[in-house]
């Protein structure tokens, strides 16, 4: 982790780097400007010499003036090296000091070439101002030193060239240099100020970069954390998806298991239901067989009697056999019992047939898509297949709306819901009655259309559901039944089937000691993606 001292040191180093780069850029740029200026001045000096003093005269003869040679050669000597340094070594300290020197020398040369015009001295001041572009006061000092040295030396050796007198004070040069220094004060102040601003700028930029780098580092760190969290989240989502899929798979398995459990539970009852008519159909058949044997004996006696009567020779033995056969067969009894036995057998066969049909309708094998069915018929079938569950403890009353329209649903699963609720109702009544067969409770199943929904009510006279567990009855694995009597899946599956698969609703109302009423509402129209009024009602 970076400490505060490290940060300050880094900012300081970066500031120096930025300051150096900025100053170097300014020096390079100014070097190039001066390269152009020096070249221009050189050319201007030559031009000025050619215009002002092209020739020197001796009587009528003339020759090229020394000023022209000086402008060309001395100009080249003055401007050439600084221009070369500006081109090949821009930004170096030596370069800008050479330029300062060359510029001061150019001023001196221009003064000479212009014939000593006082206006040309302004070139010195202009040059100093231009040199201030470097924002380096040392450069101005170099130029000033050259000007001062020029005046000092010429003041000593050729005073009239600078002061116009043959003899003068040795300090006269200081007066001239003083005016240059006067300008220098402002220029140096400007350079120092500019330098301070550059330092300030570099400082701010270094601090900004440091802050930005810190922010970027923090952003990278946070991004990495975010990516890690994102990866974890994706992993969790994947896990959750897998868990959901696993749960759905388990729910399906449980649903199947519960169905199997219900079927297994019902199997004994159904077997009993089928066994009872089968027994008495068998008994009656055996009775009819015995009757047929007796009738056969009687018919044989009658047949012999008829033959003897046709021959006209009826024997007493034959009559005695007929009387004995009639006595044994008891035709009056047979006339009464045989039709009764046949009716009972037919009723038994019909009974078995209805149970088998109900089972078939209950299970709806092979139907796994939404199918419009007669819900009343489904209720009847369900009541039939579970008859053995309720018949010993309750009477089941069906109050079904004959005008009920067809309802789109998954028949097998909806029947499973009705079965679960009816069996629960029977168990509740049995629990309340304590298994007393003489005290039957009542289960009432009714159906009706309510707008765009069909509502099925299953009321029972069991003990009701305790209020404290009422909100949990649709939770998986929740049961109030004893161990081995319930898996806790019945109502959970009922809720899943009605709410999730049919977008309907299931609710319960209870009154302690009076019983429970389950409301199952199914929509008459299933539209993909739409909420159904049955769902809305549940939400409301």
Partner 1 sequence: MSPLHESRLLHFLFVFWLVLLAAGFSYVVDYEFQPAELREPPPDLPAEYPRAADEELHLLLLFAHPKCPCTRATVEELNRLMTACVERVEARVHFFRPRDAADGWEHTDLFRAAESIPGVTALVDPGGEIAQRFGASTSGEVYLYSPAGELRFRGGITASRGHAGDNVGRHTIVELVRGGVAERDETPVFGCRLLDDCGGA
CB neighbour class for 145 (10 Å; exposed up to 12, middle 13-18, buried from 19)? middle
433 lies in the site for partner 1, by CB under 8 A: no
Nearer to partner 1, 4 or 57 (CB): 57
Of the listed pieces 29-37, 60-68, 185-193, 303-311, which binds partner 1 according to CB under 8 A?
60-68
**3-class secondary structure, 511:** strand
Length of the chain, in residues: 540
State the binding string over 185-224 for partner 1 (x if CB under 8 A, else -). Answer: ----------------------------------------
Q: How many residues bind partner 1 (CB under 8 A)?
A: 41
Nearer to partner 1, 163 or 518 (CB): 163
Nearer to partner 1, 117 or 170 (CB): 117
Taking residue 489's Cβ as centre, other Cβ atoms within 10 Å add up to 22
Q: Shortest distance, CB of residue 8 to partner 1, whole angstroms?
A: 32
In eight-state DSSP terms, residue 65 is -
The residue within the footprint of partner 1, chosen from 46, 78, 419, 421 (CB under 8 A), is 78
Alpha helix segments (H runs only) across 53-119: 66-69, 75-88, 93-113
The residue within the footprint of partner 1, chosen from 81, 408, 476, 488 (CB under 8 A), is 81
The residue within the footprint of partner 1, chosen from 1, 4, 61, 316 (CB under 8 A), is 61
The residue within the footprint of partner 1, chosen from 66, 229, 241, 536 (CB under 8 A), is 66
Nearer to partner 1, 180 or 187 (CB): 180
**Integer Cα distance of 362 and 413 in angstroms:** 9
Rounded (5°) CA angle 361-363-368: 105
Nearer to partner 1, 88 or 312 (CB): 88
Nearer to partner 1, 109 or 254 (CB): 109
Region 109-128 residues binding partner 1, contact defined as CB under 8 A? 109, 112, 115-118
57 lies in the site for partner 1, by CB under 8 A: yes
User: Could you tell me which residues come within 8 angstroms of residue 379 by beta carbon, excluding any fewer than 6 positions away?
Assistant: 398, 400, 418, 445, 447, 456
State the binding string over 458-487 for partner 1 (x if CB under 8 A, else -). Answer: ------------------------------
Nearest to 458 by CA among 416, 385, 509, 401: 509
**Integer Cα distance of 220 and 114 in angstroms:** 68
**Integer Cα distance of 262 and 252 in angstroms:** 15
**3-class secondary structure, 493:** helix
Contact 465, 486 (CB under 8 A): no
Region 501-540 residues binding partner 1, contact defined as CB under 8 A? none
Q: Give one DSSP letter per residue of 200-263, joined into a string.
A: HHHHHHHHHHHHHHHHHHHHHHHHHHHHHHHHHHHHHHHHHHHHHHHHHHHHHHHHHHHHHHHH
Q: Shortest distance, CB of residue 32 to partner 1, whole angstroms?
A: 18
Region 165-184 residues binding partner 1, contact defined as CB under 8 A? 165-166
226 lies in the site for partner 1, by CB under 8 A: no
How would you classify residue 116: left for phi > 0, otherwise alpha for psi between -120 and 50, otherwise beta?
left
**3-class secondary structure, 515:** strand
Region 139-168 residues binding partner 1, contact defined as CB under 8 A? 154, 158, 160-161, 163-166
Q: Shortest distance, CB of residue 174 to partner 1, whole angstroms?
A: 17
Q: Shortest distance, CB of residue 12 to partner 1, whole angstroms?
A: 26
Contact 10, 3 (CB under 8 A): no
Q: Shortest distance, CB of residue 132 to partner 1, whole angstroms?
A: 22
Nearer to partner 1, 158 or 333 (CB): 158
Binding site for partner 1 (CB under 8 A): 52-62, 65-67, 70, 73-74, 77-78, 81, 85, 89, 94, 98, 101, 105, 108-109, 112, 115-118, 154, 158, 160-161, 163-166
């Amino acid at each position: 982790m970076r400490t505060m001292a490290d940060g300050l040191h880094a900012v300081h180093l970066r500031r120096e780097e930025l300051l150096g780069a900025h100053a170097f850029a300014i020096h390079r740029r100014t070097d190039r400007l001066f390269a152009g200026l020096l070249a221009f001045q050189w050319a201007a000096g030559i031009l000025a010499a050619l215009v002002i003093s092209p020739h020197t005269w001796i009587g009528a003869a003339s020759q090229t003036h020394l000023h022209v040679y000086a402008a060309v050669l001395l100009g080249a000597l003055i401007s050439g090296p600084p221009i070369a340094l500006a081109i090949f070594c821009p930004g170096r300290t030596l370069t800008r000091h050479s330029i300062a020197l060359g510029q001061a020398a150019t001023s001196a040369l221009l003064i000479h070439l212009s014939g000593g015009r006082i206006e040309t001295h302004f070139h010195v001041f202009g040059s100093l101002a231009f040199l201030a572009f470097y924002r380096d006061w040392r450069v101005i000092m170099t130029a000033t030193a050259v000007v001062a040295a020029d005046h000092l030396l010429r003041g000593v050796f050729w005073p009239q060239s600078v002061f116009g007198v043959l003899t003068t004070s040795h300090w006269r040069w200081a007066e001239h240099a003083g005016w240059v220094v006067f300008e220098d004060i402002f220029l140096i102040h400007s350079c120092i100020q500019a330098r301070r601003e550059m330092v300030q700028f570099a400082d701010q930029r270094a601090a900004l970069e440091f802050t930005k780098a810190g922010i970027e580092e923090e952003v990278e760190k946070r991004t990495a954390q975010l990516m890690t969290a994102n990866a974890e989240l994706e992993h969790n989502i994947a896990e959750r998806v897998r868990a959901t899929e696993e749960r759905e798979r388990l729910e399906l398995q449980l649903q199947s298991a519960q169905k199997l459990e219900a079927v297994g539970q019902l199997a004994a009852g159904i077997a009993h239901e089928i066994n009872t008519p089968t027994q008495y159909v068998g008994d009656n058949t055996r009775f009819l067989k015995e009757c047929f044997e007796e009738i056969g004996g009687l018919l044989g006696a009658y047949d012999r009697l008829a033959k003897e009567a046709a021959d006209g020779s009826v024997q007493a033995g034959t009559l005695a056999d007929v009387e004995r056969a009639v006595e044994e067969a008891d035709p009056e009894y047979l006339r009464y019992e045989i039709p009764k036995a046949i009716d009972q057998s037919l009723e038994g066969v019909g009974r078995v047939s209805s149970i088998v049909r109900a089972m078939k309708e209950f299970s709806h094998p092979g139907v796994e898509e939404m199918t419009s069915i007669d819900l009343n018929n489904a209720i009847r079938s369900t009541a039939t297949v579970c008859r053995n569950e309720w018949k010993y403890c309750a009477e089941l009353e069906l109050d079904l709306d004959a005008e009920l329209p067809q309802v789109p649903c998954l028949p097998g699963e909806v029947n499973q819901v009705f079965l679960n609720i009816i069996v629960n109702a029977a168990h509740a009544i049995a629990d309340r009655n304590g298994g007393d067969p003489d005290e039957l409770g009542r289960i009432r199943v009714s159906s009706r259309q309510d707008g765009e929904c069909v509502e099925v009510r299953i009321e029972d006279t069991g003990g009701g559901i305790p209020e404290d567990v009422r909100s949990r009855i649709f939770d998986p694995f929740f049961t109030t039944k004893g161990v081995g009597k319930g898996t806790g899946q019945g109502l959970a599956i009922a809720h899943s089937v009605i709410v999730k698969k049919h977008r309907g609703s299931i609710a319960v109302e209870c009154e302690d000691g009076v019983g429970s009423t389950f409301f199952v509402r199914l929509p008459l129209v299933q539209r993909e993606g739409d909420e159904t009024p049955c769902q809305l009602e549940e939400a409301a």
